Structure 1
Amino acid sequence: MSRLTQKQYQRHAMLAGAAYIAAMLLVWPLARTAVGLPLKVVLAMLPLLPMFYLIGLLAWRIRDSDELEQRMHLVALGVTGAVVAASSMVGGFLAAAKIVPLDGSILIMVFPLMASCYGVTRWWVARRYGVSVTCDDAGSVPVYLRFLLMALVMGLVALFAHYRQNDEGMGTALGVAAVFAVAGVVFGVRRWLSSRQGAPDDQ
């Protein structure tokens, strides 16, 4: 297996994330009305494919990292596991005591919780080590451009949802696209101001 560059990792991760979001908004809801158990299973499981790919991509990235990067990854993964385990136990006890009504659909939130916790923890650990996780180097896509590309992808998802007359999916996709677009503009302005001042660009 060849070495995975930062640029390749970012590109593949963005594509996998976009595929997951599109599948959740446009394909997964069809499982509720599909006829036949095999079709229901296929439609319900389809969003897992890009997530499994993303997990493998992360493992590949960690394998190709240096010792410092591996340490940051492993610390973030350890904290993520602890947070998700503790949250699951709290939710389980509350549900078992019938204090909070929870059903199986809550499990869908496990992976987003893990991804969010991992990202925040790795950012914090990187800051502790004096490493910027948002810097633009020669081998990576600028941060502002990543956000704008994701906004474009989500805009296309919203357009497709509108074509399919899926108002709920369209609204969600537009909301996500707006968040990505605002983030892209913010990082782009900061990058432009930094270049105008002649300071090193760290965003």
Structure 2
Amino acid sequence: MARLTQKHYEQRLMLVMLVYMAVLFADGPLLRAATNLPLKALLAVAPVLPMLYVIALMWWRVRDSDELEQRTHLVALGVATALVSALSMVVGFLVAGGVLHWGGGVLIWVFPMLMAGYGIAYRQVARRYGMGNLCTGEGSAWMPWYFVLLALVMAGFGFNAWWHHLRGDALVFVATAVFFVVVAIRARVRQVRAGQERED
């Protein structure tokens, strides 16, 4: 099996995330219209399939890494898992104690939070080990635009939630969109700085 390069990993990740967003947009109206319970359950878990491919991509990327990169991935994943687990326990106890009144839908955010924590931790650990930043690597020139696209999609979800009078959901989606805009700006700034350093 061919080695998965960073460029191919990023291209496949972008494609599957676009598929994921398309499934989310198409799935909502179908799910609300479905009356058959098995069909409703199938539609409810449909967005999970692209995420399973993301997990497989991550495993493939780690498998094809050298020992230092594997160690970096492992440490970053451990840090992210510990933080999300602690946060989940805090939220769980607050909900159980009646302080927060959140439904089971909040569980949808566990995986994105784990991935965000993993990405942040990976960059910190990689910097500690003296490794280059993935966002400025070969084949990553489009990465800021990927985050801009995610921001636009999240803003679309926010507008849709606002239109359906789901103010809390709209706020979460808009906050996520703002987060992706900040990440896009940061990635672009790093690319520009890396380009200037190469010229010097």
TM-score, reference length from structure 2 = 0.77
Distance 1:27-1:75 versus aligned 2 partners, 3 A rule: same
Partner of 1:98: helix, strand, or coil? coil
Which amino acid counterpart does residue 107 of structure 1 have in structure 2? L
Q: Name which of structure 1's ranges 175-184 and 59-68 shifts more when overlaid on structure 2.
A: 175-184
- 1: distance between equivalents of 2:102 and 2:176? 26
1:62–1:69 Cα contact (<8 Å) kept: yes
Higher relative contact order (CA 8 A, sep 6+): 1
Change (3 A) 1:91 1:60: same
Is the CA contact 1:72–1:122 (under 8 Å) kept in the aligned structure 2?
yes
C-alpha deviations, 1:43-78, integer Å up to 9, x for none? Answer: 211110110000010001000001111111000111
Are residues 71 and 99 of structure 1, via their aligned partners in 2, closer, same or farther at CA, if it must alter by over 3 Å? same
Percent identity among equivalent residues? Answer: 41
Moved more, 90-99 or 20-29: 20-29
**Aligned length, in residue pairs:** 190
**2:47 maps to which residue?**
47
Choose between structure 1 and 2: higher helix proportion: 2
Structure 2 vs 1, CA of residues 193 and 80 (structure 1 numbering), >3 Å: closer, same or farther? Answer: closer
Q: Which residue of structure 2 aligns with residue 75 of structure 1?
A: 75
SS at match of 1:199: helix
- Alpha-carbon contact 2:16-2:50 (below 8 Å) kept: yes
- So what's the TM-score if we normalise by structure 1? 0.76
Query: Tell me, which stretches of 5 or more residues in structure 1 are unaligned?
Result: none
Structure 2 unaligned residues grouped into runs of 5+: 164-169
CA distance in 2 between partners of 1:60 and 1:66 (Å)? 12
Residues 32/125 of structure 1: CA separation in 2 closer, same or farther (3 Å cut): same
> Where does residue 144 of structure 2 map in the other structure?
147
Give the letter for the 1:23 counterpart: V
